[in-house]
Amino acid sequence: EKRNPHEPEFLQAVHEVLESIAPVLDRYPQFVDGGILERLVEPERQILFRVPWVDDAGRLQVNRGYRVQFSSVLGPYKGGLRFHPSVNLSIIKFLGFEQIFKNALTGQGIGGAKGGSDFDPHGRSDAEAMRFCQSFMNELYRHLGEHTDVPAGDIGVGAREIGYLFGQYRKITNRHESGMFTGKGVQWGGAEVRTEATGYGAVFFAQQMLAVHSTSLDGLRVGVSGSGNVAIYAIEKAWQLGATPVTASDSSGYVVDHDGIDVDLLRHVKEVQRARIREYAAQRPSARFVEGRRPWDVPVDIAIPAATQNELDLDDAHALIANGVRAVSEGANMPSTPGAVAAFQRAGVLFGPGKAANAGGVATSALEMSQNAARQKWSFDDSERRLRSIMANVHDAAFDAAERYGHPGDYVIGANSAGFERVAHAMLAQGVI
């Protein structure tokens, strides 16, 4: 804490991991002797840079760019870029730290990193987004590469931004190096199902948790927050598996739709019109917009927070529990506060932490890297089948580790322990570097 003042989100993420892995450290004293923890909480490299660009009115704007390369012990650095005004070093470090264990849990060869900027893409024209992305890449390109560091999207970095970022990398380096970015358009090196993977994966994870208790999603009501990449495809998959998703939100409020969320309309409002969520309710008679609130007071069986960190607090958890929620599958990174997580677990609600439940996105990114390296293209069905099987493996790895370390059913301890074990063994084997 002394070393990282003013980094509350990073400290929160570190505490959560350290609290869960005590049984692993008891079992492997060599991890303590080898200084694994001291090394892991210090990023291998942090890059901070100026991003100057000119807006449509001809004014000079200056943003700050970040890339925190946390660990490359299992593979090239891997993790998304976030463009949002709230971005600061604490947020990027918490996301990068989480990414190490999430990526390890997928079983693939990818390290952990995260990056982004305090640039706000909302309301920016395509030309402004392009100039910003080009300036951002003018600095970051020298730290990237398919064997070095492979970014992807996150909040505020969707198809538009990824296109401009990749284009500028190609221009500067004179290399069409497909594997240096994931989430690319499917026409130019992107993988099928990457766009859908995080949202689909979070629903598959909920399905896996329910299956342990011989239940399915069929006929259940699902509450989703957010209305971006993760939320939209969580809603789509919930429908496909027989559930009814009833909410979506953004930073202005939420909509509740008693006929279930119309995915095509939601996608049109958010991706084509780039409008606020209120517009969905304006075009849908069965829906109601609730301003300035989060959707957690709506009665649901399954909750999938898919917007941002700390968006579901203790009061929200109490409201969900009182309404009979059975499972929470985190689509976003660290959306539930520590108090909310404890409340869910005390109440016997199945709780899938983001590190496990939203790992489908990065896992499919690793599949994109494989396809790029082999110059192959797998079909949608094949890719979705692989995603489903990866999510089952992630679920089982977390479930088994929780049992092994004496906390059956605790997916937080399970996910952290399983991810940490893999990273720590690799660090020991590779020496003090």
Residues that bind ligand NDP (CB under 6 A): 153-156, 158, 198, 226-231, 250-252, 306-308, 311, 331-333, 358, 361
Of 229, 180, 274, 225, whose CA–CA distance to 82 is shortest?
A: 229
Between residues 105 and 306, which has the closer beta carbon with respect to ligand NDP? 306
Closer residue to ligand NDP in complex, CB, 333/383: 333
Per-residue exposure over 245-258, b if at least 16 CB sit within 10 Å of its own CB, e if not: bbbbbbbebbbbbe
Q: Exactly one of 93, 114, 184, 270 is catalytic; name it.
A: 114
Q: Is 194 exposed, middle or buried (0-12, 13-18, 19+ CB in 10 A)?
A: buried
Contact status, residue 428 vs residue 36, Cβ threshold 8 Å = yes
The binding site for NAD(+) comprises: 198, 229
Tell me how far, at minimum, the Cβ of 218 lies from ligand NDP, in Å.
26
How many Cα atoms occupy the beta-carbon half-sphere of 311 within 13 Å? 28
Nearest-approach distance from CB 394 to ligand NDP, in angstroms = 13
> Encoding tokens for residue 111?
């390290």
Instruction: Give the residue among 287, 285, 78, 233 at the shortest CA–CA distance from 277.
Output: 287
Question: Binding site for substrate: what residues are annotated?
Answer: 78, 99, 102, 153, 365
Q: How far is the CB of 248 from ligand NDP (least distance, A)?
A: 8
User: Which DSSP string corresponds to 229-248?
Assistant: HHHHHHHHHHHHTT-EE-EE
Decide if 184 is catalytic: no
Residue 47 CB neighbours (<10 A):
17
Both structure tokens of 362: 């990065």
- Binding residues are 78, 99, 102, 153, 198, 229, 365
> Judged by CB, which is closer to ligand NDP: 37, or 313?
313
Is the Cβ of residue 82 or residue 221 nearer to ligand NDP in the bound state?
82
Contact 245, 222 (CB under 8 A): yes
Phi and psi (nearest 5°) for 225? -105, 160
In the complex with ligand NDP, the residue whose CB is nearer, 158 or 189, is 158
In the bound complex, which residue of the shown chain has the CB atom lying closest to ligand NDP?
228
Least Å distance between CB 430 and ligand NDP?
A: 27
State the nearest-atom distance from the C-beta of 313 to ligand NDP, in Å.
Answer: 12
Task: Please provide the DSSP assignment of 157-214 as one string.
Answer: B-HHHHHHHHHHHHHHHT---GGG-SS--GGGTPPTTHHHHHHHHHHHHHHHHHHHTT
Active site (catalytic) residues: 114
